Amino acid sequence: MPTNHAQRDTPPEPCPMVQFVGLISGKWAIPILYRLIVIDGPVRFGELQRAVAPITQKELTRQLRLFEQKGLLRRQVYAEVPPRVEYTVTALGKTLRPPLDALADWMRTHAADLGAEA
């Protein structure tokens, strides 16, 4: 039986779910991103940290930098004393709202089935 060398030599397309998990990996990634999307406006660091408590300052900073590098949020530093920094979700980041809303709805619907709090 002849084999298709082009098919065999072509690397498989990366699984989009693996790529997505790589983007939002980490315990706090989705809560941070979802909070920024829901607020849909400038958010200061302290406000965001309180909203996703009990996250540490170090972890929040790490995750925000990653999202900024990926183009999912914008960081704005104001030349004030003390310095003021605000984070805003970008248009690209806002495109994640429908799938994240769907995940939140799914969790609300099935939390009891999973033995988790709704």
46 pLDDT above the threshold of 70? yes
Query: How many domains does the chain fold into?
Result: 1
Find the CATH number of the domain harbouring 45: 1.10.10.10
Q: What is the mean pLDDT of residues 17-35?
A: 86
pLDDT of residue 8: 65
Q: What is the mean pLDDT of residues 75-102?
A: 94
53 pLDDT above the threshold of 80? yes
Does 3 reside within a domain? no
Does 30 reside within a domain? yes
Does 5 reside within a domain? no
Does 12 reside within a domain? no
Does 84 reside within a domain? yes
Dist CA 112 CA 97 (whole Å): 24
Does 11 reside within a domain? no
Dist CA 106 CA 31 (whole Å): 15
pLDDT of residue 51: 92
Does 25 reside within a domain? yes
Does 4 reside within a domain? no
Q: What is the mean pLDDT of residues 64-84?
A: 93
pLDDT band at 17 (very low <50, low <70, confident <90, very high): confident
Residue span of the structural domain in which 104 resides: 17-114
Residue whose pair of structure tokens reads 């607020």 in the numeric block = 39
Longest CA pairwise span in the chain (Å): 75
